Amino acid sequence: MAKPKAKVDNKKCLACCGCISVCPQDAISWIGNKARVDPGKCISCAICIRTCPVGAISGDVQ
């Protein structure tokens, strides 16, 4: 089974950009006032998930 990729819940994301700042793969960008993960670049390290202050990012099994 493939490792889960980080996924942002747009209803919760407040665009603080913490996840973008700590992503070791530069896989997250600010798009339309929200953080968005590029699953192609995501290495499933979960750093962004732990960083999010409001729990807006979770692992998405594709």
Partner 1 sequence: MNLKYDVVVVGSGPAGSVTARFASEGGAKVLVIERRSEVGVPVLCGEGISRKIDGWDMLQGKRWMAGKMDGARIYSPDRTCVTLSADQAGNETGYVIYRDIFDQELARRAIKAGAEFMMNTKATGIIKEGGKIKGVKAQHFDEELEIECKIVVAADGVDSKIAQWAGVKTRLDPKDLETCCQYTLTDIDVKDAYCEFYLGKEIAPGGYIWVFPKGKRIANVGIGILASLSESGMAKKLLDRFIENDPRLSKGKNLRFLAGAVPVSNPAEQTVADNLVLVGDAARHVDPITGGGLTHCLEGGKIAGNVIAKAIKKKDYSAELLSEYEKGWKEAFGQKIKRNYLVKEMMLNMDDKTFDKLAHALEKVKFDEISTHGLVKEVAKHLPISTKLNALIKHRKEIKEIKKK
Q: Which residues form the interface with partner 1 (CB under 8 A)?
A: 14-18, 20-24, 26, 29-30, 33, 47, 49-58
Q: Using the minimum distance from each CB to partner 1, give the nearer residue, 15 or 38.
A: 15
Which amino acid is it at 2?
A
Shortest distance (Å) from residue 39 CB to partner 1: 18
Shortest distance (Å) from residue 27 CB to partner 1: 11
| Concatenated DSSP letters of the chain | -PPPEEEE-TTT-----HHHHH-TT--EEEETTEEEE-TTT-----HHHHH-TT--EEEE--
Q: Using the minimum distance from each CB to partner 1, give the nearer residue, 25 or 39.
A: 25
